[in-house]
């Protein structure tokens, strides 16, 4: 397939087609209509008199809607075309397509219009890994509809295709024999509806799904309302306004309604492959977005709480109290060939859940949610002590119990080579990465505040604070690399430090676990030449054996990572360093047209001039979308303090005057102002 792919979506339903609006997927090709992690259409091709069409133009009208202007024939002959076709498509539990054919000649046109349709019902995992199907296909024609079906035992998935105009329906598509009058028009509406078999057959469930459908539609239509509800941004530096608007629009597209909470939205992880619940991604993105919208955090907390682990299940790496890593709905998950029902193999989601719960309360004052989730929060705290401490030494460790389909690295740097010694060797398992200890420390400090203020359990609060202080003391002793003056990325299975220099130390500042006396050295490293590229902090420092400027977690710059590093630098008072990270990432966002990729190359800025995008199929990515939002928060120094919003700007000079108006929170709405006074050129010109 040549040309650009067009993708539209709503919730976890999305359509990826070519510029003509056609779908011709084969094997691992990522085009099609997808819903609930299953491909429901792998073929959807429009022809007129047996001829394919060419695109004159394609418009993404909204994230859930696209329009294709087409003419019959291939690109080199269409100049004399007397027919124009407009295909307008909208995602809604499948999709709805309006097909209009215009005859521009003075003679009537007799046409045979055809839609070829087929589905391979591939699980998303099968699309990625090219696996073979185990069930049977069963297509049939009924009620003037074409029903594409797939069955494996009681697992049934169907695609219902129907048209408003009179069609002749066969098992491979729909045909229309029409006469379009001179200077006239013919049109039909096409509906493609996905069915999850018994998951939605009972009558009541249908009503429920209709309700969900309506809720989803309302959510999509509410885009303008969503944009208007967010704080207004005024700024001297024009690109920032564009970046801000892009972030809000992308965040709207990334909203996802859990099956248990129709009408409420939480951030999915990324488009198109990760439109599902991820513990870590949903939590980080909710944290980044809190000053702009708190609804995402509220839904994330409830949805992850509902699915919190309660039992020992080795296949799913589930333990009591553990917050999930990833939920999926496809065939491989249904037949327990993959563990995502849900899969729990993440060591950071549980402490981060507690961090989000506290940060949410500090912004919103919603003590009711904190009370409702008290049991969940206590179970999460218990997980940290009872189930994560695999070596019994008071640290959070991870090692998968599902050795075939589980995840090896259960921290955000989850690729196989992300955690290494300086000489490039990889440690064994279990591993205790440093940022996990920071999150656990922060989780306990924050939970102590909630225990005292909301759960009214002072004894519990005292205990948590004592444990946190003890963890901090031990951590600063055991992880410190004295000759390099930074923290080891991890402890290995023998309890020895894994000594490479990584961006993880920035998350330590964010968590507050770093002794004040060591913070200056950490800030120096984060903005030093080994880690700071001029655009941002590299995942792994230049000079380490595995450093590679385009290595996924071994040298690239991740915008999300940097946004939390900037927050950490501000927490310890390093205003100029935080402003430099902010300037670098926002300037990169400017180059990327407002939409930051998941990661970009770690080359020194003076070498490439432009940030080099890491090739990835997933864009926008939720936590990259959230990065500029968190950077705005840290640059303005927004901190909730009881019923007030503290504002302490430390902006890069380039930004000039900045206003963030009507920031929502327990203070109702507050305006924040700042002026760029910090010269960041010294670092960002590196």
Contact footprint for another protein (CB under 8 A)? 153-156, 197-199, 201-202, 204-205, 208, 259-261, 306-308, 310-316, 318-319, 329-330, 333-336, 341-342, 371-372, 374-375, 387, 390, 399-401, 416-417, 424-430, 492-494
Rounded to the nearest 5 degrees, what angle is found at the Cα of 631, between the Cα atoms of 628 and 634?
155
- Is residue 547 within 8 A of residue 417, CB to CB? The reply is no
In the complex, the smallest distance separating the C-beta of residue 374 from another protein, rounded to whole angstroms, is: 7
- Pick the closer one to another protein by CB: 319 or 435: 319
In the complex, the smallest distance separating the C-beta of residue 196 from another protein, rounded to whole angstroms, is: 8
- Pick the closer one to another protein by CB: 31 or 257: 257
- Pick the closer one to another protein by CB: 317 or 542: 317
In the complex, the smallest distance separating the C-beta of residue 81 from another protein, rounded to whole angstroms, is: 47
In the complex, the smallest distance separating the C-beta of residue 399 from another protein, rounded to whole angstroms, is: 5
d(CA 42, CA 94): 13
Whether the CA torsion 335, 336, 337, 339 is positive or negative: it is: positive
The CA–CA distances, whole Å, from 197 to 149, 159, 511, 648 equal 10, 10, 46, 55
Three-state secondary structure call for residue 637: coil
- Pick the closer one to another protein by CB: 150 or 486: 150
**Element (H or E) spanning 195, and its range?**
strand 185-195
In the complex, the smallest distance separating the C-beta of residue 450 from another protein, rounded to whole angstroms, is: 15
- Pick the closer one to another protein by CB: 43 or 340: 340
Residue 201 burial class via C-beta count within 10 angstroms: exposed 0-12, middle 13-18, buried 19 and up: exposed
- Pick the closer one to another protein by CB: 333 or 625: 333
In the complex, the smallest distance separating the C-beta of residue 348 from another protein, rounded to whole angstroms, is: 18
- Pick the closer one to another protein by CB: 313 or 639: 313
The number of beta carbons lying within 10 Å of the beta carbon of residue 306 is 12
- Pick the closer one to another protein by CB: 390 or 576: 390
- Pick the closer one to another protein by CB: 65 or 418: 418
d(CA 46, CA 69): 13
> Which of these, 631, 642, 612, lies nearest to 570 by C-alpha position?
631
Does residue 272 have a cis peptide bond before it, meaning omega lies within 30 degrees of 0? yes
- Pick the closer one to another protein by CB: 318 or 361: 318
- Is residue 581 within 8 A of residue 560, CB to CB? The reply is no
- Pick the closer one to another protein by CB: 188 or 433: 433
In the complex, the smallest distance separating the C-beta of residue 435 from another protein, rounded to whole angstroms, is: 21
Report the half-sphere exposure of 291 (CA within 13 A, side-chain side): 30
- Is residue 564 within 8 A of residue 527, CB to CB? The reply is no
> Which of these, 292, 305, 449, 291, lies nearest to 367 by C-alpha position?
449
Q: Mind giving me the DSSP string for 312-330? A: -BTTTTB-TTPPPSB---S
In the complex, the smallest distance separating the C-beta of residue 189 from another protein, rounded to whole angstroms, is: 30
Whether the CA torsion 63, 67, 73, 77 is positive or negative: it is: negative
Q: Please give the span between the terminal C-alpha atoms of the chain, in angstroms, as a whole number.
A: 40
Whether the CA torsion 518, 524, 530, 533 is positive or negative: it is: positive
d(CA 493, CA 414): 18
The CA–CA distances, whole Å, from 678 to 518, 531, 635 equal 24, 21, 11
- The interaxial angle of helices 279-289 and 559-571, nearest 10 deg, is 50
């Amino acid at each position: 397939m040549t040309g650009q792919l067009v993708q539209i979506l709503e919730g976890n339903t999305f359509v990826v087609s070519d510029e003509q609006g056609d779908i011709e997927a084969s094997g691992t090709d990522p085009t099609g209509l997808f819903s609930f992690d299953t491909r429901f259409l792998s073929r959807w091709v429009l022809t007129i008199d047996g001829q394919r069409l060419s695109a004159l133009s394609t418009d993404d009208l909204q994230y859930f809607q696209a329009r294709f202007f087409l003419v019959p024939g291939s690109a080199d002959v269409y100049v004399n075309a007397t027919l124009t076709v407009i295909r307008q498509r909208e995602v809604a539990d499948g999709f709805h397509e309006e097909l209009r054919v215009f005859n521009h000649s003075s003679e009537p046109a007799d046409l045979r219009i055809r839609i070829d349709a087929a589905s391979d019902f591939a699980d998303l995992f099968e699309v990625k890994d090219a696996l073979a199907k185990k069930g049977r296909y069963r297509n049939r024609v009924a009620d003037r509809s074409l029903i594409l079906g797939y069955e494996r035992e009681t697992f049934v998935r169907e695609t219902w295709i129907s048209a408003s105009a009179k069609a002749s329906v066969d098992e491979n598509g729909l045909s229309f024999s029409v006469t379009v009058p001179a200077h006239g028009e013919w049109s039909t509406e096409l509906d493609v509806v996905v069915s999850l078999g018994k998951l939605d057959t009972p009558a009541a469930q249908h009503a429920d799904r209709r309700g969900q459908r309506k809720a989803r539609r309302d959510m999509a239509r509410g885009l303008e309302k969503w944009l208007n509800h967010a704080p207004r941004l005024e700024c001297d530096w024009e690109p920032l306004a564009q970046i801000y608007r892009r972030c809000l629009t992308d965040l709207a597209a990334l909203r996802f309604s859990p099956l248990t909470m129709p009408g409420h939205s939480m951030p999915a992880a990324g488009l198109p492959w990760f439109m599902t619940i991820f513990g870590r991604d949903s939590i980080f993105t909710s944290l980044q977005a809190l000053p702009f919208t708190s609804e995402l955090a509220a839904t994330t907390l409830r949805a992850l709480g509902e699915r919190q682990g309660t039992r020992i299940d080795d296949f799913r790496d589930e333990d009591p109290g553990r917050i999930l890593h990833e939920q999926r709905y496809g065939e491989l998950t249904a037949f327990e060939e993959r563990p995502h029902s849900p899969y729990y193999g993440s060591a950071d989601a549980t402490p981060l859940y507690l961090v989000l719960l506290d940060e949410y309360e500090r912004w919103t004052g919603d003590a009711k949610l904190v009370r409702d989730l008290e049991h969940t929060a206590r179970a999460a705290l218990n997980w940290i002590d009872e189930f994560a401490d695999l070596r019994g030494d008071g640290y959070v460790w991870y090692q998968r119990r599902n050795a075939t389909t589980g995840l090896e690295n259960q921290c955000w740097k989850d690729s196989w080579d992300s955690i290494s010694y300086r000489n490039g060797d990889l440690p064994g398992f279990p591993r205790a990465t440093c940022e996990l200890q920071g999150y656990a420390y922060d989780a306990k400090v924050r939970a102590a505040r909630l225990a005292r203020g909301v759960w009214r359990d002072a004894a519990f609060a005292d205990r948590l604070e004592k444990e946190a202080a003890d963890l901090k003391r031990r951590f600063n002793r055991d992880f410190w690399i004295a000759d390099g003056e930074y923290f080891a990325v991890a402890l290995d299975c023998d309890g020895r430090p894994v000594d490479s220099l990584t961006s993880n130390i920035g998350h330590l500042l964010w968590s507050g676990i770093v002794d004040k006396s060591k913070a200056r050295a950490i800030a120096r490293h984060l903005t030093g030449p080994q880690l700071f590229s001029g655009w941002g902090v590299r995942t792994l420092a230049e000079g380490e054996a595995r450093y590679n400027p385009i290595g996924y977690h071994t040298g690239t710059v991740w915008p999300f990572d940097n946004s939390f590093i900037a927050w950490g630098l501000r927490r310890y008072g390093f205003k100029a360093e935080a402003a430099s990270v902010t300037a670098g990432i926002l300037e990169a966002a400017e180059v990327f047209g407002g939409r930051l990729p998941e990661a970009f190359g770690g080359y020194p800025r003076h070498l490439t001039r432009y940030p080099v995008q890491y090739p990835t199929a997933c864009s926008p990515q939720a936590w990259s979308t959230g990065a500029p939002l968190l950077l705005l928060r840290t640059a303005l120094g927004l901190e909730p303090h009881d019923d007030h919003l503290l504002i302490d700007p430390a902006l890069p000079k380039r930004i000039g005057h900045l206003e963030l108006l009507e920031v929502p929170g327990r203070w109702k709405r507050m305006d924040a102002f700042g002026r760029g006074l910090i010269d960041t050129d010294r670092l960002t010109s590196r």
